[in-house]
C-alpha cells in the first residue's frame, strides 16, 4: 500500500480552490489536481505492508495532544523554482502546530522503519504537476489578473491516513483513518 498523512480542507476552502482551478486550467496543459485530491500532506509514507497497517495507525494515534492549528491558504508558486517548475502550488501559512504535527509524525513513523524526511517541512497544497516543459506565460498572466491570492482559512483539528493508488488517469486517494488532535 502506498500511504501518506494529510489534513483535509473544509468545503468553503475547496470551493475557492475549485474556482481558482477552473479559471487557471485553460491557460496551461498541466496535470491539474482534481478537487477530491486537494489536501495538505503532512507525511509521505510510501510503500507500507498492508499487514502492518494497525501498527502504523497505533503509532499515529500516539502522537499526543495538539491544539487546533490555524491554517490560511495564500499565494501561489512553483517548486523547485519558477524557472524549472515541476509543481504549481498554493501556499500554506499555519501556526507552529503544523510543523509540530509533521515533526511528531516523522519521529513516530521513523521508529517503525519509515525513512525520516531529509528536507525541512514545507507545507503547500499541490494544484498541478508539470511533467514536461510547457509555456507558462498565459498561466502567469492569469495569476496576475486574479483579484486576490487568498483562498480561505480554517482550524485543523484532525488529520487522516490516506491510500494513494496510481492509475493511468491519475492518482486516486482513499481515506483510511482519522486522527483527532485531542484524542
Rounded average pLDDT over 17-36 = 96
Per the structure, the count of domains in the chain is: 1
Helix, coil or strand: residue 103? helix
Residue 165 has pLDDT above 70, yes or no: yes
pLDDT digits (tens, 9 = 90+) for 108-158: 999 999 999 998 999 999 999 998 989 999 999 999 999 999 999 999 999
Greater pLDDT, 64 or 179: 179
Q: What CATH number did the domain enclosing 27 receive? A: 3.90.1140.10
- Domain holding 39, by residue range, is 2-180
- Annotated catalytic residues are 39, 124
Residue 183 has pLDDT above 60, yes or no: no
Look up the pTM and report it.
0.93
Residues forming a β-bridge with 92? 73
Q: What pLDDT band is residue 64 in, cutting at 50, 70 and 90?
A: confident
Q: What pLDDT band is residue 167 in, cutting at 50, 70 and 90?
A: confident
Q: Are 73 and 90 in contact (CB under 8 A)?
A: yes
DSSP, residue by residue, 115-151:
PPPSS----EEEEEE--S----HHHHHHHHT-S--EE
Amino acid at each position: 500500500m502506498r500511504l501518506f498523512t494529510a489534513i483535509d480542507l473544509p468545503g468553503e476552502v475547496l470551493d475557492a480552490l475549485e474556482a481558482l482551478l477552473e479559471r487557471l486550467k485553460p491557460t496551461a496543459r498541466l496535470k491539474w489536481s482534481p478537487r477530491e485530491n486537494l489536501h495538505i500532506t503532512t507525511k509521505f509514507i510510501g510503500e507500507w505492508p498492508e499487514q502492518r497497517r494497525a501498527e502504523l495507525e497505533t503509532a499515529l494515534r500516539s502522537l499526543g495532544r495538539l491544539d487546533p492549528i490555524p491554517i490560511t491558504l495564500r499565494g501561489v508558486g512553483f517548486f523547485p523554482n519558477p524557472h524549472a517548475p515541476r509543481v504549481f502550488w498554493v501556499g500554506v501559512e499555519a501556526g507552529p502546530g503544523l510543523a509540530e504535527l509533521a515533526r511528531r509524525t516523522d519521529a513516530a513513523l521513523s521508529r517503525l522503519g519509515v525513512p525520516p524526511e531529509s528536507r525541512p517541512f514545507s507545507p503547500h497544497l499541490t494544484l498541478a504537476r508539470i511533467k514536461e516543459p510547457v509555456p507558462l506565460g498565459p498561466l502567469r498572466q492569469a495569476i496576475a489578473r486574479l483579484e486576490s491570492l487568498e483562498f480561505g482559512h480554517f482550524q485543523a483539528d484532525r488529520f487522516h491516513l490516506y491510500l494513494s493508488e496510481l492509475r493511468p488517469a491519475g492518482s486516486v486517494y482513499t481515506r483510511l483513518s482519522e486522527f483527532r488532535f485531542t484524542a
